[in-house]
Amino acid sequence: MKPTVILRRTSVRTLLATGLVTSLTLVSGCAKSEDDSDKAKNSTSQGDSGQVVASPSAGSGPTCTIDAYGGKKIDLKSATVGFSQSEKEANPFRIAETASIKAEAQKRGVKLLTSNAQSQFSKQISDVQDLIAKGADLLVIAPLNSDGWEPVLRSASAKHIPIVTIDRKINATACKDYVSFIGSDFVEQGKRAADRMIEATGGKGEIAILLGAAGNNVTTERTKGFEDRVKEKAPGLKIVFKQTGEFAREKGQSVTENLIQSKPGITGIYAENDEMGLGAVNALKGAGKKPGTVKIVTIDGTRNAVQGIVDGWINGVIESNPRFGPLAFQTLDSFTQGDKVAQDIVIKDSAYTTDNAKSDIGKAY
């Protein structure tokens, strides 16, 4: 009886597996998406605006040199760079980030090893250790968490491998455990979003905030910057509603639907990312509002949001630049040649307004 059972089980399993594979090939084989023709256009028009250093331009702030860090000078051209991405390339930000690193590596002719932790921190740790084992001389890491990096840092420092972290910081000593952090100032982004909101509303009225995911530093910092600036510059602007949209379009839409019913007099909505902003636009459309009756300011700078400005629904988009490639490699290049590099490199984010949206949409990601 036993063997037959096993036999039956395997056959069921094989059947399932075959079924899945077949269906997958079938599914993707004859798929015809809505706008396949657009794709080519999109990718060619991908205008690139590399990052520009914002804060340490004057040479202020602590710096780091290879002598202070330990290790020896190498030529970046002959080196191998390992890149560890934190999340799946499933949102525009991550896609643009990885693409930028890859493009820059190709441009400079550097050998690049990549890995993706799929939002699992333990996987990211082993990813980075793999990269080291595979012979990476330099590391660029987009960390998923700020903490828990000791094992990696230990093995990296044993081999004197310089590390640059991008978009998120890790909790460790700069110029000892890692070289530099390159990223945006989220508080500053919030402040600039507040400026756009004040401009759009004339500094008066009631506004709502669509918060990001709870317990996320991006959420807290973008909220703090925005609230501080509003309090300071436009006391007439009242924040009457703060609910989370969890950085997702669907959630942003349903929260906004409730918002405009219970507070029909709302004059502005600050969405802490583009997706929630686009959800808010959906909600306003569904409620039969005209473009511009409710001012919307968002952060990130994705193509869809910038298109929203062109269409008149969104009043401003503060960019959070994902194109770390040029700046990261430039930092590594200077560092390996023995030059001084800043420990905290804050990049300059641009902004899209009604004035430049049409012309700059090619720059959006």
Are 303 and 92 in contact by the 8 Å Cβ rule? The answer is: yes
Coarse DSSP helix, strand, coil percentages of the chain, rounded to the nearest 5 percent: 45, 20, 35
Cα torsion 130, 135, 140, 146: sign: positive
Residue 285 lies near other proteins (rule: CB under 8 A): yes
Whole-number Å distance between alpha carbons of 102 and 187: 29
**Which residue stretch of 19-27, 71-79, 172-180, 199-207 sits at the interface with other proteins (rule: CB under 8 A)?**
19-27
Take residue 253 and report the two structure tokens written for it: 């839409």
Q: Identify the residue among 67, 147, 232, 250 touching other proteins (CB under 8 A).
A: 250
Binding marks (x or -) toward other proteins, 69..108, rule CB under 8 A?
A: -------------------xxxxx--x-------------
CB-based contact 276:298 (threshold 8 Å): yes
Task: Answer for the pair 206, 240: CB distance below 8 angstroms, yes or no.
Answer: yes
Write down the least CB distance from residue 334 to other proteins, Å.
34
Smallest gap, in angstroms, from Cβ of residue 18 to other proteins? Answer: 12
- What span, in angstroms and rounded, lies between the C-alpha atoms of 60 and 57? 7
Is residue 122 a contact point for other proteins (CB under 8 A)? Answer: no
Rounded to 5 degrees, φ, ψ at 50 are: -65, 170
Establish if 3 lies at the interface with other proteins (CB under 8 A): no
Q: Residue 243: phi, psi to the nearest 5?
A: -135, 150
Q: How far is CA 165 from the centre of its chain?
A: 13
> Between residues 20 and 133, which has the closer beta carbon with respect to other proteins?
20
The answer to whether residue 261 forms part of the interface with other proteins (CB under 8 A) is yes
* 264 touches other proteins (CB under 8 A): yes
Q: How many residues bind other proteins (CB under 8 A)?
A: 54
Q: Which parts of 36-65 interact with other proteins (CB under 8 A)?
A: 36
Report whether 331 contacts 345 (CB < 8 A): yes
Name the residue nearer to other proteins (CB basis): 191 or 251: 251
Q: Does 214 contact other proteins by CB under 8 A?
A: yes
Interface residue list for other proteins (CB under 8 A): 1, 8-9, 12-13, 16, 19-20, 23-24, 27-28, 31-36, 88-92, 95, 211, 214, 240-244, 246, 248-251, 253-255, 257-259, 261-264, 275, 278-279, 282, 285-287, 304
